[in-house]
Amino acid sequence: MSGAKSLCLEASPSEKEAARRAWRATMLNATGRTIAQRHGQQLADNITRALAWNPLIADKLNNFSDQALATFLWLLPPSEQLAPPLPLQPGYSIDAALLALAGQRDAKVASIEDLDAVPKAISRITEKEWTEYLRMSVELSKCKDCLRDMASHMAQQYAKSTDYDAAYQEMRAAFGPNDKLFDLFDRITLRIRNQGMANNMYARALGRNECDVVAIGTAHLGGPNGVVALLRKMGATVTPAATEE
């Protein structure tokens, strides 16, 4: 941030309504239809049985989005976990550190991602694809060792956040041999949004100098459809910066 006059994050903290729209699209069922009406009674029954262990959501499943339901299916019941979840460090936030530096330098803060990017990305997944996503997630939930491996790889993804390619490989490894499940996960959460962010970086940060520093999550950087690869395809020169441990 030395000398920077502008900082672009995925979403500026001032865009509270956009954040609420993204949360609603990610978590809540906005269709007005039950799981059975969207995906059939058999799959609805399978989801209900698979999540019966969780008293916080078991009687509210129809309130949740398909994306949220799939994520719940990937969680292990506490009794099946071999170790407690990694403790979160509330004081460790790169965004918070960058915002503090921006405040000290009176730098302008903006969003690099379009404000409705998350709802738009989710809306591009067809109901047939959501059905398949949930069906595969139910099957995954039956393999407790698979869920443990998934949790381990996802945790390692954050541990390797200074190496975006290694972080991407950990995220890919979390899904084991299930290429189709990972492909849908990638489209829903990353790939569609990555294209939008890369376009904005190329036009606004590189083309119009609107962002001296851009900060986005490591998961968006690596892989063949990551922001780094997309920027290089557009003709930008992208090289890793030196980091300090």
Q: Is residue 17 part of a domain?
A: yes
Q: What pLDDT, in 10s, does the model give residues 225-244? A: 999 999 999 999 988 776 55
Q: Is residue 241 part of a domain?
A: no
Local structure of residue 203 (DSSP, 8 states): I
d(CA 195, CA 12): 19
Q: How confident is the model at residue 204 (pLDDT cuts 50, 70, 90)?
A: very high
Q: What pLDDT, in 10s, does the model give residues 79-115? A: 887 765 555 555 556 777 888 888 888 889 999 999 9
Q: Which residues pair with 215 in a beta bridge?
A: 9
Cβ contact 29:63 at 8 Å: yes
Mean pLDDT of 173-185: 96
**CA atoms within a 13 Å half-sphere pointing along the CA-CB vector of 203:** 9
Q: Is residue 192 part of a domain?
A: yes
Q: Is residue 177 part of a domain?
A: yes
d(CA 146, CA 159): 20
242 against 9, higher pLDDT: 9
Q: What pLDDT, in 10s, does the model give residues 137-158? A: 999 999 999 999 999 998 888 7
Cβ contact 60:98 at 8 Å: no
pLDDT of residue 104: 87
Q: Residue 196 is encoded by which pair of tokens?
A: 């939008």
Q: Is residue 118 part of a domain?
A: yes
Mean pLDDT of 44-64: 97
What's the domain count of the chain? 1
* Mean pLDDT of the chain, nearest integer: 90
Q: Is residue 122 part of a domain?
A: yes
What residues contact 149, with CB distance under 8 A and at least 6 apart? 173, 174, 176
Cβ contact 54:77 at 8 Å: yes
Task: For residue 213, report the phi and psi dihedrals to the nearest 5 degrees.
Answer: -130, 135
Domain that holds residue 127: 6-79+91-233
pLDDT of residue 146: 95
Q: Is residue 244 part of a domain?
A: no
Q: Is residue 86 part of a domain?
A: no
pLDDT of residue 87: 54
169 against 2, higher pLDDT: 169
DSSP symbols for 25-54: HHHB--SS--HHHHH-HHHHHHHHHHTTT-
Mean pLDDT of 115-134: 96
Please report, rounded to a whole number, the percentage of residues in the chain having pLDDT higher than 70: 92
